[in-house]
Amino acid sequence: MRLYDFARLHSSKVILGERIARAMGLVEGSQVYTTMFRYERDGVSGYEIVASSFGPENYRQICQATFHMTDSPGSCAQVSKFLADRNIDILNSVSISMIGNVTMVWKMLVDLSYYGEVAQLREEFDTLKKQKNLALANVDAMEISVSNISDRYTKGIASGSAVKVKAIRTKQKTASKIHHGSLPLSSELMANMEDVKDGALVMMVADTDAYVLSLSFLPADTKLAEFEICIPDKPGAVYSITNVLGRANVNMLSLSTRVLVFYERMTIRIVADVTQQKGGTMALMNDLSGKLSELDGHYELLSFKEMKV
């Protein structure tokens, strides 16, 4: 799952929207570590700042664990005690009842820095289960593996593509703090970003799989539009829409699709940079409606709005 939002860069600060801040745990007073990357392809370059509540040294022993339990009082307590007795810290986590009063799942990041190795923990758990130890009576199974979430923070994106990625080294290693809902960017980070000025449009993407927030920068005069289109649920329908938009010089920033009626209809929601589209957003909306009517099948523009940031 990914969440995105837009903001403006003001006085080296970026205001985080409540939805994206809560999803990432970047709330008032949170400490934030940042790393920076420069991307280049075919002579075009851009910068990304990756923000995380985990520092570089914290990633070393972070693992991903999933516990399967009975949905009954005390189950979460048994898991918590099993980990606490071994000096294992629970970090970001979420538990959810799958079937009421039957089964639930608890997914979490855990820190094994003061414990040892994953194999050792797995062996201890299996031994207790074979012994039918009452301490884990409500816990059915544990899945655990070393986390690779540090890759996003240390290596950036675009792995395996033609994009050149360069990590920008900075001297400042201390964490910043979220203050009044804003993420401050250090003067060192700002100095390294060529052509990024005050007032620049900031696209924020929350990568909930890696627990990082990505910040990329667009020119201050960028024009955004968001629209939703009903399309047939058939092969080639998404191509028809993306082809129409590409020919109209519309640069898509986000695209999501959802099936409404299987094999009948679905929706496609798009957030796009329409700066290069001649005639403005109203002309684009009219042009898009006309192009949709020419396609084979039921295509309908459900909503269209210009996004003000």
The residue length of the chain stands at: 309
Let me know: does 54 contact 216? Beta carbons within 8 Å.
no
Can you tell me the distance from the alpha carbon of 36 to that of 38, in angstroms, rounded to the nearest whole number? 7
Which of 121, 146, 171 is where one domain is finished? 146
Handedness of CA 293, 298, 302, 305 (dihedral sign): negative
Burial group, residue 79, by CB count within 10 angstroms (0-12, 13-18, 19+): buried
Q: Which domain holds residue 236?
A: 224-307
Write down the pLDDT at residue 148: 86
- If you average pLDDT over residues 266-281, what whole number do you get? 89
Which of 187, 218, 249 is where one domain is finished? 218
Write down the pLDDT at residue 158: 67
Q: What is the count of structural domains for the chain?
A: 3
- Could you read off the pLDDT of 142-153 as tens digits, one per residue? 999 999 888 888
Can you tell me the distance from the alpha carbon of 43 to that of 239, in angstroms, rounded to the nearest whole number? 28
| Same-domain check for residues 124 and 189 | no
- Could you read off the pLDDT of 219-261 as tens digits, one per residue? 999 999 999 999 999 999 999 999 999 988 899 999 999 999 9
Containing 64, the helix (H) or strand (E) segment is strand 62-70
| Same-domain check for residues 70 and 141 | yes
| Same-domain check for residues 40 and 179 | yes
- Could you read off the pLDDT of 91-114 as tens digits, one per residue? 999 999 999 999 999 999 999 999
Which of 162, 193, 218 is where one domain is finished? 218
Q: Supply the CATH number for residue 63's domain.
A: 3.30.70.260
| Same-domain check for residues 230 and 81 | no
Write down the pLDDT at residue 159: 67
More confident residue, 162 or 93: 93
Write down the pLDDT at residue 67: 98
| Same-domain check for residues 170 and 248 | no
Packing angle, helices 237-247 and 280-293, rounded to 10:
140
Q: Which residues of 38-72 are buried (b: 16+ CB within 10 A; e: fewer)?
A: bbeeeeeebbbbbbbbbeeeebebbbbbebebbbe
| Same-domain check for residues 287 and 229 | yes
Average pLDDT value for the chain: 92
